[in-house]
Amino acid sequence: MEQIIANGLYLGAQYALIALGLTLIFSLMNVLNFAHGQMYVLGGFVTYTIVAQFGLPFIVGLFASAIVLAVVGALIEKFLFAPVIRKSKREESTMLLAAGIAFFLDAVILLVFGEKQRGVPKIVNGVLNWDFRIIMPYDRILIGVLAIAMIAGFILFMQYTKAGRAMRALAQDRMAAELMGVDVKRYSMIGFALGAMLAGLVGGLLVTITGINLGMGGPTSIKAFMMIMIGGAGVISGAIAGGFILGMMESIGLTVLAAYGDITYLVIFASLMVFLAIRPQGLMGKPWG
Amino acid sequence: MKRRTLLKTSALAAVASLSFLGMAHAENPVLKIGFVGVTSGPAAAWGISNQRSMETRAAWLNELGGYEIDGQKYDIQIVAFDDQKDPKRAIAGMEKMAQEGIHYVVGPNVDDGAAAVRPVAEQNGIMYFPYAFPKELYTAPASNAVLGMVANYQSGPAIYKHLMENEGVQKVAFVAANESDPLSQRDGGVEAAKALGLEVVSDSVTYQVDTTDFTPVLLPVIQTQPDLLVLSGVSPANAPQLIRSARELGYEGLISTETAQDATVLQEGAGELANGFISVGGASTPELASDAMREFVDRYTKMFGEYNDESNTKVYALEYILETIKANPAAMTDVEAFKTTMDTFEAPNPYMVGDAKLTYVGTSSFGQKRQVSVPLVVNVFKDGAFETLFVAQVD
Amino acid sequence: MKAKLLGLGAFLITVFVIVPWLIAISGRWDFYYTLTSVALLSIASAGVWLTFYIGRINIGQGAYALAGGYVSAILITKAGFSFWATLPLAGLFCAGLSVLIGLPILRLRGVYFAMVTLVLTEVGRLSALALPVTNGAKGITSIPLPGEVSVFGLTLIPDFATLENPKLAFYLVAVLLMVICYAALYRIVNSRLGHLCRSLQQNEELSASIGVNTAYLRVLAYSISSFFGGIAGAMFVAISQSIYPSSFQVADSVNFMLNCFLGGLGYVFGPMLGTLMLYFGWDLLFTTGRFQLLIYSSLLILLMLFLPNGVLSLFERKGVRK
């Protein structure tokens, strides 16, 4: 039992961090960023290149991932999303753009980093074994703690800085924020960069544990979508809750349903549909987000 | 309005110029061999290692002045189509191959694609060499598919038997991704293990291919305390993570798979935890590799920057196609001639030391010779490289 | 009206006469399959477009295409049905299924509906893997080609297995289906039902308040959409003579949606053009080798940048909106 909870918490922490970036972008611009998973993969490969190829310390790789992805995110917002949103009649049209960017990043990653699974050596050795009740390698614990620290840092940033407040205002009511003198263009760009940066950071963190390969992008996006649906789209606390709930669901589901074989994920997904049908706006979302 | 006209014209120009690309010029007549497989997306590693080994071999042969068939030298050209692991695309790819006048195609890489291209291949007179295991592709009335590798229902029993006799394995557990190919391979493995008298303690645990943490997946499996953990049809991306999670959960038994793996990937992903991992490989371990195999690896590395050990099992299909055509030049355009030759064909295996032979086999599995005979080389991973555990033959 | 009829005539002549003629003189026989795929995928996309028309983003069409494919495959192999009988049955099964699924989930809107349908595609794949009737991971293979249909000894449709060129036959059937589906779609959009759907797209509360039965309308539109998905899936099974749980998956669902965006959400024939461009574009880029995906995605981004309202908006005169 303890093991199941520990697994769920660890999974939840990394999921929540992925979902945060996605929900931030969604709340600011009403864009479902299909390329979020690809940004995560790109972040992983940047850290891999720095750590495994150049032999620099892990923390440098992590910073490099954050910076590269923030720049990529800012450029994508400024030159692609902003003009398309301005010109299109229905805002859903940005979904095609996002999918195009996802394909594009996939292609770039394949050409630059190759098709192989990549990973960096363990950053901490050893396994915590608490009387066979909880078995958890130290590097997983470290990554889990780092992820939670980043989530906390992100919340503080959104609560107490000028940029954070501006973005929250934007998310609540774009028009009102603009009237109150918030530089909408600038903060949209910052928000997108921040969201992309979070994706890159998770990629950098996880490359030490699960490694990275170019196929992880699409499925990661879909998982992140599910998390923000559970919690409520565009709500930061919702994304965190959604991440932890999905993590727990997988952890418990895999243990309880293991005996029934191939239906584990079928049950998880189907119950998610039932949940959303009963509560259409997720746990904490505004209806019709 | 102007920009729109510009858009239209430039689109037209782009399309027009594309159709002129890819027309290679050569002095020798060109013999085209096709490849239809997945070279983008999550499973890209499978198809890319496949395509690259073909391209490496073709470039090598062309550098030597071409491949001689019936006194005429041919330049080998590889025509590759990316099916994105979509069976509908795979059919389109096969149609492209027919359009290019190609009669011999390597691929597709997965079960659904291989099944989907069957009608097209048969209508157009194409022999294809899938890396997929469904038996109905190779048993009559089907006759155009040739299994390009050792199937899991052939390698699995050999591995389990070896481990039973040498390591005293009694209890075995299976895990598989919840996709067609791994699940079929798991079912085949379970059947084989039971037939050998092994106790199957867990065979129902599955995982999504995009899983980032395998601890919850493996927890119930490890609790059944197997002596051997079989990762059925595991992709090279998932293998190191599964091994690592199993070891970190305190599992001390054996781990094996029936698919080909890459040593670098295992080393990076699981490090020393992967030591002792058993997988199926080709003939590139130092004990078995011939000079030709070593040169192949060198050339591959030079051409593409980095070798992929999965290619060891994938050097053979092209070699078989070319050697069989050489044995019967009529087969170049006539696949019926190719089929007749298959029954009696024999040539030396250039990639292995000793007097190994290239022949077509499969009579006991499919009732007809529809499988390339490659040595079943079972490798064990040790400190960043593979060592040969044992070698067997499939009939 | 006259112009429209002329356009229709020109289109029919193009697809039924000019295209086969061009293929015959150019010898590009491989285009038959490509165009057959385009026709079938555009039928499924037409369904997605219809759900867009009531203001829902549908990323679940792959599930219905898969279901339709399995219905056809199972009826042919296990119950001995003729393929031609299974084609409408596959559509009807999907329509029925979509009513059951649609009743609860159609209350959702915006991204919530989009995401639920996306999950639905994955549920479809996993169900196909887990259900006993679908033969699980091993799929259903060696499905016979469509057989003969005759009335009083008069052969209406010949047995495909005896045809010299089944490619052409499949092409003609697929295009005929496409024409029928788009005719139906056009009729729906320009009927009272279409007006009501448009009112849903613009403001659901308002239309409910003036007495429109929105719940009924939503389910109706969604089931027509799923019907299209089902017959497209069934037709594909006849061509590939096999079906696996992965025959239609999330990538397909996403592509159906992209087809609609690319063609233009405001135009009935948008999804057809979008499918043609996306699918045919990938095929044409086949010669570019490993840069295929890079070029393909770059073109997609550029198109979106210059024509965010779909390609058909190119032909729209300024200020005139349908």
Tell me the domain boundaries of chain C.
Answer: 32-251
Over residues B357-369, the mean pLDDT reads 90
| The CATH number of the domain covering residues in B26-145+316-350 | 3.40.50.2300
Tell me the helix, strand and coil percentages in chain C, rounded to 5. Answer: 75, 5, 20
Look at residue B298 and tell me whether its pLDDT is greater than 60. yes
Chain B contact set for A264 (CB, 8 A): 206
Dist. CA B371–CA B231, nearest whole Å: 24
The residue to which tokens 């009531």 are assigned? C54
- List, as one string, the DSSP characters of B20-54: HTT----SSPEEEEEEEE--SSTTHHHHHHHHHHH
Chain A contact set for B221 (CB, 8 A): 258
Tens of pLDDT, residue by residue over C180-223, are 999 999 999 999 988 888 888 888 888 888 888 888 999 999 99
Query: How much is the pLDDT for C317?
Result: 54
Model ipTM?
Answer: 0.89
Cβ proximity of C98 and C91 under 8 Å = no
Q: Do C304 and A97 touch (CB under 8 A)?
A: yes
Name chain B's partners: 3 or more CB pairs within 8 A: A, C
The three-state DSSP-derived secondary structure of A106-165 is HHHHHHHHCCCCECCCCCCCCEEEECCCEEEEHHHHHHHHHHHHHHHHHHHHHHHCHHHH
Over residues B220-239, the mean pLDDT reads 91
CA distance B385 to chain A (A): 16
Sketch the domain layout of chain A as residue ranges.
2-214
How far from the centroid of its chain's Cα atoms is residue A253's Cα? Answer: 22
Residue in B closest to C244 by C-alpha: B112
Q: pLDDT exceeding 70 applies to what percent of chain B? A: 93
Residues 156-175 (B) with a CB less than 8 A from some CB of C: none
Asked if C286 is an interface residue toward chain B (Cβ–Cβ < 8 A), one would say yes
Dist. CA B151–CA B259, nearest whole Å: 9
- List, as one string, the DSSP characters of A32-93: --TTHHHHHHHHHHHHHIIIIIT---HHHHHHHHHHHHHHHHHHHIIIIIHHHHHH-SSGGG
Dist. CA B342–CA B320, nearest whole Å: 10
CA distance A285 to chain C (A): 10
Chain A contact set for B208 (CB, 8 A): 219, 265
What would you report as the CA-atom Rg of chain B, rounded to the nearest whole angstrom?
22
Band (B376; pLDDT cuts 50, 70, 90): confident
Look at residue A166 and tell me whether its pLDDT is greater than 70. yes
Query: How much is the pLDDT for C30?
Result: 87
Cβ proximity of B259 and B366 under 8 Å = no
Query: How much is the pLDDT for C72?
Result: 96
* Closest CB to A270 among C114, C123, C298: C123
CA distance A136 to chain B (A): 7
Asked if B92 is an interface residue toward chain C (Cβ–Cβ < 8 A), one would say yes
Query: How much is the pLDDT for B46?
Result: 84
* Closest CB to C138 among B22, B84, B134: B134
* Closest CB to A210 among B213, B216, B220: B213
Q: Count Cβ atoms within 10 A of the Cβ of residue B305 and give its class: 0-12 exposed, 13-18 middle, 19 or more buried.
A: exposed
Asked if C107 is an interface residue toward chain A (Cβ–Cβ < 8 A), one would say yes
Asked if C285 is an interface residue toward chain B (Cβ–Cβ < 8 A), one would say yes
Q: Do B42 and A218 touch (CB under 8 A)?
A: yes
Per-residue tokens: A64: 């490099």
Query: How much is the pLDDT for B9?
Result: 52
Asked if B43 is an interface residue toward chain C (Cβ–Cβ < 8 A), one would say no
Q: Do A288 and C109 touch (CB under 8 A)?
A: yes
Per-residue tokens: A195: 């969201």
Q: Do A92 and C308 touch (CB under 8 A)?
A: no
Q: Do B18 and C287 touch (CB under 8 A)?
A: yes
Chain C contact set for B89 (CB, 8 A): 282
Query: How much is the pLDDT for A197?
Result: 96
Chain A contact set for C291 (CB, 8 A): 107, 111
The model carries a pTM of 0.90
Q: Do B183 and A262 touch (CB under 8 A)?
A: yes
Enumerate residues 6+ apart whose C-beta is below 8 A from C216.
none
Cβ proximity of B261 and B279 under 8 Å = yes
CA distance C99 to chain A (A): 14
Query: How much is the pLDDT for A129?
Result: 80
Q: How far is CA C29 from CA C25, C165, C167, in A?
A: 10, 10, 8
Asked if C176 is an interface residue toward chain B (Cβ–Cβ < 8 A), one would say no
Q: Do C129 and B81 touch (CB under 8 A)?
A: no
Work out the angle at residue B35's Cα, subtended by the Cα atoms of residues A41 and C34, and round it to the nearest 5 degrees.
85
Ranges B40-44, B163-167, B271-275, B366-370: which has the least confidence = B40-44
- List, as one string, the DSSP characters of B68-89: EETTEEEEEEEEEEE-TT-HHH
First-to-final CA distance of chain A = 36
Tens of pLDDT, residue by residue over C235-276, are 999 999 999 999 999 989 999 999 998 888 888 999 999 999
Look at residue B234 and tell me whether its pLDDT is greater than 50. yes
Asked if the domains at B26-145+316-350 and B152-285+379-392 fall in one CATH topology, the answer is: yes
Tens of pLDDT, residue by residue over A109-133, are 988 998 888 888 888 888 888 777 7
Look at residue B63 and tell me whether its pLDDT is greater than 50. yes
SS3 state of residue C143: coil
Asked if C144 is an interface residue toward chain B (Cβ–Cβ < 8 A), one would say no
Tens of pLDDT, residue by residue over A53-103, are 899 999 999 999 999 999 999 999 999 999 988 888 777 778 889 999 999
* Closest CB to B237 among A215, A220, A264: A215
* Closest CB to A272 among C119, C136, C250: C119
Asked if B96 is an interface residue toward chain C (Cβ–Cβ < 8 A), one would say yes
Q: pLDDT exceeding 90 applies to what percent of chain B? A: 53
A176: number of Cβ within 10 Å? 11
- Identity of residue B63: E
Q: Which helix (H) or strand (E) holds C229?
A: helix C214-240
Nearest to A46 by CA among A105, A101, A88: A105
Positions in chain C short of pLDDT 70: 316-322
Q: Looking at the domain B152-285+379-392, which fold is it? A: Rossmann fold (3.40.50)
Q: Do A116 and B236 touch (CB under 8 A)?
A: yes
Chain C contact set for A90 (CB, 8 A): 265, 309
Q: Count Cβ atoms within 10 A of the Cβ of residue B120 and give its class: 0-12 exposed, 13-18 middle, 19 or more buried.
A: buried
CA distance C261 to chain A (A): 6
Query: How much is the pLDDT for B11?
Result: 52
The residue to which tokens 């690259």 are assigned? B52
